[in-house]
Amino acid sequence: MILSVFPRGATIRTSLVWRPYSSLVRGAVASGSLSRSVSRSKSATARAKGPHGAFAVPLSVSRIVTVPACNGSFSTVITAPHPLDPLSADEITHAAAAVRNHLGLSPDNTVQHLRFVSISLNEPPKKDYIQGNKTPRKAEIVALNPVTGIASEYRVDLDAGRVVDAKDLPKGVQPLLTPEDCDLAEAIVQSSPEVAAAMRDRYNIVDMSTVTCDPWSIHLASEEDRQLTNWRDDGIPGRLVQTFLYHRQYGEGLEDNVYAHPIDIVPVVDLIARKVVTINGMERDPPIIPTASVQYHRNLVKTNSYLETEWRQDRLAALDVLQPDGPSFTVTGNEVEWQKWKFRVGFNYREGLVLHDVSYDDRPILHRASLVEMAVPYADPHPPYQRKCAFDVGDYGLGFCANSLELGCDCLGHIHYFDAVLNDSQGNPVEKKKVICMHEEDNGVLWKHVEYRNGHNEARRGRELIISSIATVVNYEYLFYWHLRQDGCIDFKIKLSGELSTNLLSEGEKAPSHGVMVAPGVNAQIHQHMFVAKLDTAVDSHKNTVSEVNIYSEPPNEANPYGNAFGPKETIFETESDAQRICDSNTSRYWKISNAEGKVNGITGKPTAFKLQPFNFGPSQPVVFTDPSSAVSQKGAFATKHLWVTPHSDTERFPSGEYTVQGTGSNGLPDWTASNRNIKGEDVVLWHAFGVAHVPRPEDFPVMPCEITGFTLKPDGFFEGNPAIDLAPEVNDASKLAKGCCPPKA
């Protein structure tokens, strides 16, 4: 479920009886009881003006909303959850209860026999949704039996309150690691007598509470790794987590930057057996744990051994983002309207932020857009780091890892937050506050021309609507931003920050062979972050054709006697194999998504289209560097190309498969595209892989300044001219001259 922030003055309570929202609004308007549509209202329900109190209300449950009308009276509307609204707290509770009833479990014995991994909306079939067919509202549940180690999938009809589909997953298939799993892994290590003895004997560490354990999924890079998953004699598969250890040496609580104090041994725990299975690195002589204080926490900067210990003295003057008339967007439930844009905000435990039904001036562009996977391979071949590779979306879930954002820090200006409700291991709803931020930003000059003959200036500043979410996945921060622009462009930017995952030099190394020293005695390994965005396009309709455009120089000939000719060549993709492509900046390569149902641009006479421009933010980057024979390249095959295109399928959701923990990547993009299906003029999905190759720098430590990567979806014959030509001229009267600038002439 997503919650939205409403101003004071609207009274809201939940109800279990509903009628469709649109019919109720129409009826209220017809009867005169509702003077304005909530979605268009300039009143306090949608357009807060200046500072105001606000609170969150559930948007995915049926609710009675009492809205202040213009004449001072109040009107009541009853809304139903939209088919794409995330589950409410009540729905999560009822879905969990349905699974327990299906298994014959009571709340008292559930904890011994069932751990809920995820409870989320089972989105309606796309065909039914776009045709407006009513389908039962369903939840999809993944649960784990902690006795047998077997995971299961369930579908619950929320209207009927019962399980309608259930299946056990094959033995050894592991669902993602939840926040509780990560906490459990650390607790197992900290309570392990074997690890405590190693800490005492090797490093003279006797207080295990000062040992920090970063939980990482086990990437099965070798046969030895695969055998480790079957360590038990009773046949129960191991649910393994490797833990990278650090020693907390400064401050109180969790303030110390422990990544400046890595420990060389790596315990592996089994979450089912709740024990340490093995400890890697015990065969080497214990090295010295670094002790330098390299801090970023505000309470410990003063203790830094060689970095600055005081705040800089040339403090910046205040720069406030003020919107005295409030924001320009309107929010109705999870639907947002702004400057001809309309879309729905979604959120789930795995993908985190999702955009649905993105349109401009009521013309569809995207049916659904989200980040569906990332592979983070590390380049160090020294054991046990051959298995250091995270698939952060499938291994941990961006929704589970989402931050609660801070007003005036993570987001500036007049902010609208969306909260979310997820689940814990017992099937209880867990509210996460402010996981999505929406706000406007000035984007500089959008377009400008000066008639040089008379000096007349026509210029318009651009504004963007930004929908963002931030996830902390153990040591790293990923900051995700969707930008909607007034010129019809859609930008997706990812900023990377947080902490480097550090380690000591491997045995025999005097300098890192596959890393960089970022602090005294501290090695940061070279790695990549390979992302993949799933873009379910709908450019003017759901039938689209994808093509590639390259710009080539033309050889000198009779038609090009001066050698100055060059131009684009467009190649239409017919099948899935045609569309497995790699970026080429030498030909200014981009990919075009054209309408395939007769929508034609009135100027060019060609089908209306958008183009996908890769690496619009940050430098162009290659595909994954790992060898094709490696487990990384096989499991993360999506990262071996920058583009894949498939016909839409409701069941093809994640490019490395539904389950990446201890997985091989089976039932992912390579399997789907093996039959080489037709994609021309079909309901297509673009899978765009992009990323960052990270050779760490000392400047990335103790916390990394943001790296950036991303792409743009840009109209290319979608409009008949500049869509922002209708922006009225404005002059910002609040702007002032700096002191000493432009003195008046004598």
Residue 184 dihedral angles phi and psi, to the nearest 5°: -65, -40
Angle among Cα 150, 151, 153 to the nearest 5 degrees reads 140
Is the separation of the CB atoms in 74 and 28 below 8 Å?
A: no
- From the list 476, 478, 590, 659, the catalytic residue is 476
Please state the φ and ψ torsions of residue 268, each to the nearest 5 degrees.
-115, 125
d(CA 602, CA 206): 76
DSSP state of 457: E
- The amino acid that residue 464 corresponds to is E
Distances (CA, A) of 71 to 12, 46, 68: 20, 17, 8
Integer-rounded Cα radius of gyration of the chain: 28
Q: In which region does residue 208 sit, left (phi positive, over 0), alpha (psi from -120 to 50) or beta (all else)?
A: alpha
Number of helices (H), then strands (E), in the chain:
10, 35
Tokens representing 551? Answer: 């710009």
CA distance 444 to 681: 38
Q: List Cα–Cα distances, 625 to 506, 547, 585, in angstroms.
A: 22, 26, 18
- Nearest CA among 10, 118, 73, 22 for reference residue 658: 118
Neighbours of 703 (CB within 10 A): 16
The CA-based angle 457-461-464, given to 5 degrees, is 165
Rounded CA-CA distance 588/519 in Å is 40
**Rounded Cα gap, residues 427 and 221, in angstroms:** 34
Q: For residue 83, what is the DSSP state?
A: T
Report helix, strand and coil shares of the chain as percent, to nearest 5.
15, 40, 45
Cα–Cα distance measured from residue 9 to residue 66, given in angstroms and rounded to the nearest whole number: 9
**In Å, what is the CA distance from 5 to each residue of 45, 53, 471?**
10, 10, 21
Q: At 473, is the secondary structure helix, strand, or coil?
A: strand
Cβ contact 379:452 at 8 Å: no
DSSP 8-state secondary structure symbol assigned to residue 729: P
Residue identified by tokens 């994640």 is 654
Residue type, 640: T
CA gap 196, 187 in Å, rounded: 12
Q: 427-459: string of b/e by CB count within 10 Å (b at 16+)?
A: bebeebebbbbbbbbebeebeeeeeeeeeeeee
List, as one string, the DSSP characters of 126-165.
HHHHHHT-----EEEEEEE-TTT--EEEEEEETTTTEEEE
- Separation between Cα atoms, residue 697 and residue 517, nearest integer Å: 8
Tell me how far CA of residue 301 lies from CA of 256, 287, 296, in angstroms.
Answer: 10, 27, 6
Active site residue 314: no
Cβ–Cβ < 8 Å for 78, 332: no
476 catalytic per annotation = yes
Sheet strands (E) in 265-332 = 266-270, 275-280, 330-332
Q: Are strands 684-694 and 704-715 parallel, antiparallel or unpaired?
A: unpaired
Whether the bond between 324 and the residue before it is cis, its omega within 30 degrees of 0, is no
| Active-site annotation holder among 392, 536, 683, 700 | 392
Catalytic residues: 392, 476
